[in-house]
Structure 1
Protein backbone atom coordinates (compact mmCIF):
# COMPACT_ATOMS: atom_id res chain seq x y z
CA UNK A 1 0.00 0.00 0.00
CA UNK A 2 2.86 2.37 0.84
CA UNK A 3 4.46 1.96 -2.56
CA UNK A 4 1.12 2.81 -4.22
CA UNK A 5 0.99 6.09 -2.29
CA UNK A 6 4.55 6.89 -3.34
CA UNK A 7 3.73 5.94 -6.94
CA UNK A 8 0.62 8.15 -6.93
CA UNK A 9 2.32 11.27 -5.57
CA UNK A 10 5.43 10.80 -7.73
CA UNK A 11 3.35 10.40 -10.91
CA UNK A 12 0.93 13.17 -9.87
CA UNK A 13 3.87 15.55 -9.36
CA UNK A 14 5.46 14.60 -12.69
CA UNK A 15 2.16 15.13 -14.54
CA UNK A 16 1.55 18.40 -12.69
CA UNK A 17 4.99 19.82 -13.52
CA UNK A 18 4.72 18.72 -17.15
CA UNK A 19 1.41 20.57 -17.54
CA UNK A 20 2.29 23.79 -15.67
CA UNK A 21 4.28 25.54 -18.46
CA UNK A 22 1.92 27.39 -20.87
CA UNK A 23 1.13 25.12 -23.78
CA UNK A 24 -1.54 23.96 -26.18
CA UNK A 25 -3.72 22.21 -23.59
CA UNK A 26 -3.66 24.58 -20.61
CA UNK A 27 -3.97 27.71 -22.77
CA UNK A 28 -6.95 26.18 -24.57
CA UNK A 29 -8.49 25.33 -21.20
CA UNK A 30 -8.16 28.99 -20.20
CA UNK A 31 -9.41 30.17 -23.61
CA UNK A 32 -12.45 27.87 -23.44
CA UNK A 33 -13.24 29.08 -19.92
CA UNK A 34 -13.00 32.75 -20.93
CA UNK A 35 -15.04 32.48 -24.11
CA UNK A 36 -17.59 29.81 -23.19
CA UNK A 37 -17.74 29.82 -19.40
CA UNK A 38 -16.02 28.09 -16.51
CA UNK A 39 -18.13 24.92 -16.77
CA UNK A 40 -17.09 24.37 -20.39
CA UNK A 41 -13.47 24.97 -19.36
CA UNK A 42 -13.73 22.28 -16.68
CA UNK A 43 -15.39 19.85 -19.10
CA UNK A 44 -12.67 20.56 -21.66
CA UNK A 45 -10.12 19.77 -18.93
CA UNK A 46 -11.90 16.49 -18.17
CA UNK A 47 -11.67 15.57 -21.85
CA UNK A 48 -7.93 16.29 -21.85
CA UNK A 49 -7.37 14.32 -18.65
CA UNK A 50 -9.32 11.36 -19.99
CA UNK A 51 -7.12 11.19 -23.08
CA UNK A 52 -3.99 11.60 -20.93
CA UNK A 53 -5.02 8.52 -18.95
CA UNK A 54 -5.51 6.56 -22.18
CA UNK A 55 -2.07 7.68 -23.37
CA UNK A 56 -0.54 6.79 -20.00
CA UNK A 57 -2.00 3.30 -20.32
CA UNK A 58 -0.54 2.93 -23.82
CA UNK A 59 2.78 4.21 -22.47
CA UNK A 60 2.82 1.50 -19.81
CA UNK A 61 2.18 -1.19 -22.39
CA UNK A 62 4.93 -0.07 -24.78
CA UNK A 63 7.55 1.37 -22.40
CA UNK A 64 9.85 -1.66 -22.70
CA UNK A 65 9.45 -1.71 -26.48
CA UNK A 66 10.31 1.99 -26.76
CA UNK A 67 13.50 1.55 -24.79
CA UNK A 68 14.55 -1.41 -26.90
CA UNK A 69 13.76 0.57 -30.07
CA UNK A 70 14.67 4.24 -29.40
CA UNK A 71 14.13 5.15 -33.06
CA UNK A 72 10.38 4.98 -32.37
CA UNK A 73 10.68 8.07 -30.17
CA UNK A 74 12.33 9.91 -33.07
CA UNK A 75 9.37 9.12 -35.32
CA UNK A 76 6.96 10.41 -32.68
CA UNK A 77 8.96 13.62 -32.47
CA UNK A 78 8.82 14.06 -36.25
CA UNK A 79 5.05 13.61 -36.12
CA UNK A 80 4.93 16.22 -33.35
CA UNK A 81 6.80 18.66 -35.63
CA UNK A 82 4.03 18.37 -38.22
CA UNK A 83 1.31 18.92 -35.61
CA UNK A 84 3.02 21.94 -34.02
CA UNK A 85 3.64 23.51 -37.45
CA UNK A 86 0.00 23.07 -38.39
CA UNK A 87 -1.29 24.63 -35.17
CA UNK A 88 1.17 27.53 -35.34
CA UNK A 89 -0.24 28.51 -38.74
CA UNK A 90 -3.82 27.69 -37.73
CA UNK A 91 -3.88 29.84 -34.60
CA UNK A 92 -2.11 32.72 -36.38
CA UNK A 93 -4.68 32.74 -39.19
CA UNK A 94 -7.49 32.40 -36.65
CA UNK A 95 -6.12 35.38 -34.71
CA UNK A 96 -5.88 37.50 -37.88
CA UNK A 97 -9.46 36.70 -38.77
CA UNK A 98 -10.86 37.22 -35.27
CA UNK A 99 -9.01 40.52 -34.79
CA UNK A 100 -11.05 42.06 -37.59
CA UNK A 101 -14.32 41.68 -35.69
CA UNK A 102 -15.36 41.83 -32.02
CA UNK A 103 -15.24 38.67 -29.95
CA UNK A 104 -18.69 37.12 -29.49
CA UNK A 105 -19.78 34.69 -26.81
CA UNK A 106 -20.39 31.35 -28.52
CA UNK A 107 -22.84 28.85 -27.08
CA UNK A 108 -21.15 25.46 -27.27
CA UNK A 109 -22.48 22.23 -25.80
CA UNK A 110 -20.67 20.51 -22.96
CA UNK A 111 -20.19 17.47 -25.20
CA UNK A 112 -18.32 19.56 -27.78
CA UNK A 113 -15.96 20.93 -25.12
CA UNK A 114 -15.25 17.42 -23.84
CA UNK A 115 -14.45 16.02 -27.30
CA UNK A 116 -12.36 19.08 -28.14
CA UNK A 117 -10.25 18.30 -25.08
CA UNK A 118 -9.97 14.66 -26.16
CA UNK A 119 -8.89 15.65 -29.68
CA UNK A 120 -6.26 18.21 -28.69
CA UNK A 121 -4.76 15.89 -26.09
CA UNK A 122 -4.66 13.05 -28.65
CA UNK A 123 -2.64 15.28 -31.01
CA UNK A 124 0.11 15.72 -28.40
CA UNK A 125 2.36 12.88 -29.55
CA UNK A 126 5.06 13.61 -26.96
CA UNK A 127 2.83 12.43 -24.11
CA UNK A 128 3.37 8.72 -24.76
CA UNK A 129 7.21 8.91 -24.82
CA UNK A 130 7.11 11.07 -21.70
CA UNK A 131 5.01 8.62 -19.70
CA UNK A 132 6.93 5.66 -21.13
CA UNK A 133 10.17 7.17 -19.83
CA UNK A 134 8.48 7.97 -16.52
CA UNK A 135 7.20 4.42 -16.22
CA UNK A 136 10.69 3.06 -16.89
CA UNK A 137 12.18 5.35 -14.22
CA UNK A 138 9.60 4.31 -11.62
CA UNK A 139 10.14 0.66 -12.54
CA UNK A 140 13.90 1.02 -12.07
CA UNK A 141 13.25 2.67 -8.69
CA UNK A 142 10.97 -0.16 -7.62
CA UNK A 143 7.93 2.11 -7.31
CA UNK A 144 5.89 0.34 -9.97
CA UNK A 145 5.41 -3.20 -11.16
CA UNK A 146 3.32 -4.49 -14.01
CA UNK A 147 0.37 -5.29 -11.76
CA UNK A 148 -3.19 -4.06 -12.23
CA UNK A 149 -3.13 -1.99 -9.01
CA UNK A 150 0.18 -0.31 -9.94
CA UNK A 151 -0.88 0.41 -13.52
CA UNK A 152 -4.25 1.79 -12.38
CA UNK A 153 -2.54 4.05 -9.82
CA UNK A 154 -0.08 5.32 -12.42
CA UNK A 155 -2.84 6.10 -14.93
CA UNK A 156 -5.14 7.74 -12.37
CA UNK A 157 -2.31 9.90 -10.96
CA UNK A 158 -1.36 11.08 -14.47
CA UNK A 159 -4.96 12.13 -15.12
CA UNK A 160 -5.34 13.84 -11.72
CA UNK A 161 -2.06 15.74 -12.06
CA UNK A 162 -3.04 17.01 -15.51
CA UNK A 163 -6.58 17.96 -14.49
CA UNK A 164 -5.44 19.88 -11.40
CA UNK A 165 -3.25 22.20 -13.50
CA UNK A 166 -5.92 22.70 -16.17
CA UNK A 167 -8.47 23.50 -13.46
CA UNK A 168 -6.13 26.11 -11.98
CA UNK A 169 -5.74 27.68 -15.42
CA UNK A 170 -9.52 27.71 -15.81
CA UNK A 171 -10.15 29.36 -12.43
CA UNK A 172 -7.23 31.79 -12.75
CA UNK A 173 -8.35 33.26 -16.06
CA UNK A 174 -12.04 33.41 -15.19
CA UNK A 175 -11.19 35.46 -12.09
CA UNK A 176 -9.46 38.10 -14.21
CA UNK A 177 -12.77 39.55 -15.35
CA UNK A 178 -11.29 42.92 -16.31
CA UNK A 179 -8.75 41.26 -18.62
CA UNK A 180 -10.81 38.49 -20.21
CA UNK A 181 -11.66 40.54 -23.31
CA UNK A 182 -7.98 41.29 -23.97
CA UNK A 183 -7.08 37.66 -23.37
CA UNK A 184 -9.79 36.47 -25.76
CA UNK A 185 -8.52 38.75 -28.54
CA UNK A 186 -4.86 37.80 -28.10
CA UNK A 187 -5.09 34.14 -27.04
CA UNK A 188 -4.80 32.82 -30.58
CA UNK A 189 -1.61 34.85 -31.13
CA UNK A 190 -0.27 33.47 -27.84
CA UNK A 191 -1.10 29.92 -28.89
CA UNK A 192 0.57 30.44 -32.27
CA UNK A 193 3.79 31.65 -30.60
CA UNK A 194 3.68 28.73 -28.15
CA UNK A 195 3.40 26.29 -31.04
CA UNK A 196 6.50 27.86 -32.59
CA UNK A 197 8.37 27.49 -29.30
CA UNK A 198 7.34 23.84 -29.02
CA UNK A 199 8.40 23.36 -32.63
CA UNK A 200 11.89 24.69 -31.86
CA UNK A 201 12.17 22.60 -28.68
CA UNK A 202 11.19 19.47 -30.58
CA UNK A 203 13.77 20.22 -33.29
CA UNK A 204 16.45 20.59 -30.61
CA UNK A 205 15.43 17.27 -29.06
CA UNK A 206 15.61 15.52 -32.44
CA UNK A 207 19.04 16.81 -33.47
CA UNK A 208 20.80 17.09 -30.09
CA UNK A 209 19.56 14.04 -28.16
Structure 2
Protein backbone atom coordinates (compact mmCIF):
# COMPACT_ATOMS: atom_id res chain seq x y z
CA UNK A 1 0.00 0.00 0.00
CA UNK A 2 2.92 2.33 0.63
CA UNK A 3 3.94 1.95 -3.01
CA UNK A 4 0.43 2.76 -4.21
CA UNK A 5 0.29 5.82 -1.92
CA UNK A 6 3.65 6.99 -3.28
CA UNK A 7 2.33 6.69 -6.85
CA UNK A 8 -0.75 8.69 -5.86
CA UNK A 9 1.24 11.39 -4.06
CA UNK A 10 3.69 11.94 -6.92
CA UNK A 11 0.74 12.10 -9.35
CA UNK A 12 1.83 9.02 -11.30
CA UNK A 13 -1.72 7.63 -11.20
CA UNK A 14 -4.41 8.77 -13.58
CA UNK A 15 -7.28 9.87 -11.36
CA UNK A 16 -10.78 10.73 -12.49
CA UNK A 17 -10.66 9.09 -15.93
CA UNK A 18 -14.08 8.31 -17.41
CA UNK A 19 -13.65 4.53 -17.01
CA UNK A 20 -11.90 2.33 -14.47
CA UNK A 21 -9.04 -0.19 -14.80
CA UNK A 22 -11.23 -2.89 -16.37
CA UNK A 23 -11.63 -0.81 -19.54
CA UNK A 24 -8.55 -0.19 -21.73
CA UNK A 25 -9.72 3.29 -22.84
CA UNK A 26 -7.09 5.18 -20.81
CA UNK A 27 -4.38 3.28 -22.72
CA UNK A 28 -6.03 3.20 -26.14
CA UNK A 29 -6.87 6.94 -25.95
CA UNK A 30 -3.25 7.76 -25.03
CA UNK A 31 -4.15 9.18 -21.61
CA UNK A 32 -1.52 6.91 -19.99
CA UNK A 33 1.62 5.15 -21.21
CA UNK A 34 0.69 1.94 -19.37
CA UNK A 35 -2.39 0.59 -17.63
CA UNK A 36 -3.32 -2.27 -15.32
CA UNK A 37 -5.98 -4.40 -16.91
CA UNK A 38 -7.10 -7.85 -17.83
CA UNK A 39 -6.43 -10.16 -20.71
CA UNK A 40 -10.10 -9.78 -21.68
CA UNK A 41 -9.32 -6.28 -22.97
CA UNK A 42 -6.47 -7.35 -25.26
CA UNK A 43 -8.60 -7.57 -28.45
CA UNK A 44 -9.70 -3.94 -27.97
CA UNK A 45 -6.11 -2.87 -27.31
CA UNK A 46 -4.90 -4.73 -30.41
CA UNK A 47 -7.63 -3.08 -32.51
CA UNK A 48 -6.57 0.37 -31.28
CA UNK A 49 -2.79 -0.05 -31.19
CA UNK A 50 -2.02 -2.88 -33.59
CA UNK A 51 1.05 -4.77 -32.43
CA UNK A 52 2.58 -1.73 -30.71
CA UNK A 53 2.04 -2.84 -27.09
CA UNK A 54 3.30 -5.41 -24.63
CA UNK A 55 2.54 -6.93 -21.26
CA UNK A 56 4.46 -7.23 -18.01
CA UNK A 57 3.83 -8.43 -14.47
CA UNK A 58 3.35 -6.15 -11.48
CA UNK A 59 6.90 -5.37 -10.36
CA UNK A 60 8.25 -6.45 -7.00
CA UNK A 61 7.65 -3.61 -4.54
CA UNK A 62 10.49 -4.50 -2.19
CA UNK A 63 14.02 -5.87 -2.45
CA UNK A 64 13.95 -9.65 -2.75
CA UNK A 65 10.29 -9.61 -3.75
CA UNK A 66 8.89 -11.26 -6.85
CA UNK A 67 6.82 -9.86 -9.69
CA UNK A 68 3.15 -10.87 -9.62
CA UNK A 69 0.36 -11.53 -12.08
CA UNK A 70 -3.16 -11.64 -10.68
CA UNK A 71 -5.01 -14.66 -12.03
CA UNK A 72 -8.64 -15.11 -11.15
CA UNK A 73 -12.20 -15.61 -12.14
CA UNK A 74 -12.03 -19.36 -12.65
CA UNK A 75 -13.79 -20.97 -9.75
CA UNK A 76 -16.95 -22.98 -9.45
CA UNK A 77 -18.50 -23.90 -6.15
CA UNK A 78 -21.04 -26.53 -5.28
CA UNK A 79 -23.28 -25.89 -2.29
CA UNK A 80 -22.61 -28.84 0.01
CA UNK A 81 -25.97 -28.22 1.69
CA UNK A 82 -27.90 -28.13 -1.59
CA UNK A 83 -30.56 -30.62 -2.65
CA UNK A 84 -28.66 -31.89 -5.71
CA UNK A 85 -25.01 -31.99 -4.66
CA UNK A 86 -24.08 -35.01 -6.77
CA UNK A 87 -25.79 -33.60 -9.87
CA UNK A 88 -24.01 -30.28 -9.33
CA UNK A 89 -20.65 -32.03 -8.99
CA UNK A 90 -21.29 -33.97 -12.20
CA UNK A 91 -22.22 -30.75 -14.02
CA UNK A 92 -19.04 -29.01 -12.84
CA UNK A 93 -16.96 -31.98 -13.96
CA UNK A 94 -18.75 -32.04 -17.31
CA UNK A 95 -18.26 -28.30 -17.84
CA UNK A 96 -14.69 -27.81 -16.60
CA UNK A 97 -13.07 -31.20 -17.23
CA UNK A 98 -14.83 -32.77 -20.18
CA UNK A 99 -15.89 -29.77 -22.31
CA UNK A 100 -12.57 -28.46 -23.54
CA UNK A 101 -14.28 -26.96 -26.60
CA UNK A 102 -16.42 -24.73 -24.33
CA UNK A 103 -13.35 -23.67 -22.36
CA UNK A 104 -11.53 -22.81 -25.59
CA UNK A 105 -14.54 -20.85 -26.86
CA UNK A 106 -14.84 -18.88 -23.60
CA UNK A 107 -11.12 -18.11 -23.55
CA UNK A 108 -11.12 -16.64 -27.06
CA UNK A 109 -14.61 -15.38 -27.92
CA UNK A 110 -15.34 -12.90 -25.11
CA UNK A 111 -12.14 -10.96 -24.90
CA UNK A 112 -9.27 -13.24 -23.97
CA UNK A 113 -9.03 -15.41 -20.85
CA UNK A 114 -6.51 -18.01 -19.75
CA UNK A 115 -8.25 -21.37 -19.49
CA UNK A 116 -7.89 -23.06 -16.11
CA UNK A 117 -6.35 -26.10 -17.78
CA UNK A 118 -2.88 -25.70 -19.29
CA UNK A 119 -3.68 -28.31 -21.95
CA UNK A 120 -6.58 -26.14 -23.16
CA UNK A 121 -4.49 -22.96 -23.02
CA UNK A 122 -1.90 -24.63 -25.24
CA UNK A 123 -4.53 -25.23 -27.96
CA UNK A 124 -6.24 -21.82 -27.84
CA UNK A 125 -4.90 -20.22 -31.05
CA UNK A 126 -5.39 -16.60 -29.93
CA UNK A 127 -3.26 -17.28 -26.83
CA UNK A 128 -0.29 -18.77 -28.68
CA UNK A 129 1.22 -15.63 -30.22
CA UNK A 130 2.25 -12.07 -29.44
CA UNK A 131 1.33 -10.31 -26.20
CA UNK A 132 -1.38 -12.88 -25.43
CA UNK A 133 1.19 -15.68 -25.42
CA UNK A 134 3.46 -13.54 -23.28
CA UNK A 135 0.60 -12.94 -20.80
CA UNK A 136 -0.06 -16.69 -20.54
CA UNK A 137 3.65 -17.33 -19.91
CA UNK A 138 3.85 -14.57 -17.27
CA UNK A 139 0.75 -15.94 -15.53
CA UNK A 140 2.31 -19.40 -15.44
CA UNK A 141 5.54 -18.00 -14.00
CA UNK A 142 4.26 -15.31 -11.59
CA UNK A 143 0.53 -16.04 -11.28
CA UNK A 144 -1.22 -15.68 -7.93
CA UNK A 145 -4.82 -16.73 -7.38
CA UNK A 146 -7.28 -15.39 -4.90
CA UNK A 147 -9.12 -18.15 -3.06
CA UNK A 148 -12.78 -18.79 -3.92
CA UNK A 149 -13.71 -17.04 -0.67
CA UNK A 150 -12.44 -13.75 -2.16
CA UNK A 151 -15.81 -12.37 -3.20
CA UNK A 152 -17.20 -8.87 -3.72
CA UNK A 153 -17.89 -8.36 -0.01
CA UNK A 154 -14.26 -9.20 0.87
CA UNK A 155 -12.76 -7.32 -2.06
CA UNK A 156 -14.73 -4.13 -1.44
CA UNK A 157 -13.37 -3.91 2.12
CA UNK A 158 -9.77 -3.83 0.87
CA UNK A 159 -10.63 -1.55 -2.06
CA UNK A 160 -12.17 0.95 0.35
CA UNK A 161 -9.12 0.72 2.64
CA UNK A 162 -6.76 1.24 -0.31
CA UNK A 163 -8.72 4.31 -1.46
CA UNK A 164 -8.47 5.84 2.01
CA UNK A 165 -4.75 5.04 2.29
CA UNK A 166 -3.92 6.44 -1.13
CA UNK A 167 -5.77 9.68 -0.47
CA UNK A 168 -4.20 10.10 2.98
CA UNK A 169 -7.40 9.54 4.96
CA UNK A 170 -5.99 7.27 7.63
CA UNK A 171 -3.15 5.14 8.89
CA UNK A 172 -2.38 2.33 6.43
CA UNK A 173 -1.65 -0.29 9.08
CA UNK A 174 -4.84 0.43 11.01
CA UNK A 175 -7.03 0.58 7.89
CA UNK A 176 -5.65 -2.70 6.53
CA UNK A 177 -6.00 -4.44 9.91
CA UNK A 178 -9.62 -3.29 10.13
CA UNK A 179 -10.33 -4.46 6.57
CA UNK A 180 -8.71 -7.83 7.32
CA UNK A 181 -10.82 -8.29 10.45
CA UNK A 182 -14.05 -7.47 8.60
CA UNK A 183 -13.00 -9.64 5.64
CA UNK A 184 -12.44 -12.58 7.96
CA UNK A 185 -15.99 -12.09 9.21
CA UNK A 186 -17.27 -12.27 5.61
CA UNK A 187 -15.24 -15.43 4.98
CA UNK A 188 -16.54 -16.99 8.18
CA UNK A 189 -20.12 -16.34 6.97
CA UNK A 190 -19.35 -18.27 3.76
CA UNK A 191 -18.00 -21.24 5.68
CA UNK A 192 -20.87 -21.40 8.18
- TM-score (norm: length of structure 1): 0.26
Relative contact order higher in (CA < 8 Å, ≥ 6 apart) = 1
Larger Rg: 2
- TM-score (norm: length of structure 2): 0.28
